[in-house]
Amino acid sequence: MSSKKIAFVTGAGRGIGRGIALALAKDGFIVVGNGRTFNPDDTKKGLFEVKATIEREGGVFFPIKGDIVSDKDHQYMVDTILREFGRIDVLVNNAGVAPLKRLDMLETTEESYNLVMDINLKGTFFLTQNIANKMIEYTKNNSEVKPIIIFITSISVYFSSPSRAEYCISKAGLSTVSTLFAHRLAEYGINVYEIRPGITATDMTVNVKEKYDTLIREGLIPQNRWGTPDDMGRSVTALARGDFPYATGSVIEASGGMQIHRL
């Protein structure tokens, strides 16, 4: 069993998940990352690009195929990680999707709603349930171990975006899930945190870049810039190290100050 901590990052092949995986690996974690797309021959993008990048820096990244919507895949991923590494010290619930198409909420489709809710909320809940039970079991025999769970939500928890209602609903729900797990797992010494990214430069925001470039120039963000996957990775790493032991249930907003009420 490795002396290094094992971090499982869902949706690690791109965007914020990639940034989190790189930051954790740089900090000395062994990182496991999953994705629905799994192509060992493609080192230009996806999980195996992340693996190559981390390994060039001397880190360890273990890619695994799995869809968080599938209970069967949940069990396969958990069993594989435990077989390879013996435990999961940190779970980072990052995987998520945007609506199929940005539509006024009066036109939102059931297909898009179900897709977003299944991945962003339902799948994440049940994967966390599975891993939380494994963490509890492990801590009963290893009292010095303090596992950590981190949920990546969004400023859409409280910012209204009627053109992507299903996304806002899923992230608001996930915020509540984070609170519930923090409450339920506290007795086992398992801390749970929520990180709310702000406007972050990823492939998910490419189509609205011009819109947000303008809003940022007009003062939307006090720190006056886009967020980056590296910003989110650093936030996760600070929590994953265990530097906030008396703060379970806390929400960290990484939005450049968008939560500040201004006149």
Place of tokens 């963490």: 135
Which amino acid would we find at residue 48?
F
Residue 176's alpha-carbon distances to 26, 48, 204, in angstroms, are: 30, 33, 23
Task: Note the maximum CA span of the chain.
Answer: 55
Domains and CATH numbers, the chain: 6-254 (3.40.50.720)
pTM (predicted TM-score): 0.97
* CA–CA separation, 72 and 63 (whole Å): 17
pLDDT digits (tens, 9 = 90+) for 183-240: 999 999 999 999 999 999 998 898 899 999 999 999 999 999 999 999 999 999 999 9
Contact assessment for residue 248 and residue 182, using Cβ atoms and an 8 Å cutoff: yes
30-35 and 6-9 as β-strands: parallel, antiparallel, unpaired? parallel
Residue among 76, 138, 158, 167 flagged as catalytic: 167
- Phi, psi of 24, deg, nearest 5: -65, -45
Distant-in-sequence, close-in-space partners of 218: CB < 8 Å, separation ≥ 6: none
- Ranges of H-type helices in 86-208: 110-117, 124-141, 165-185
Per-residue pLDDT band for 1 (boundaries 50, 70, 90) equals: low
Beta-carbon contacts of 173 under 8 Å, excluding residues fewer than 6 positions away, are: 117, 120, 121
| pLDDT tens digits, 147-192 | 999 999 999 999 999 999 999 999 999 999 999 999 999 999 999 9
Is residue 193 annotated as a catalytic residue, yes or no?
Answer: no
DSSP 245: T
Pairwise CA distance, residues 210 & 3, whole Å = 46
Give the SS3 label for residue 252. strand
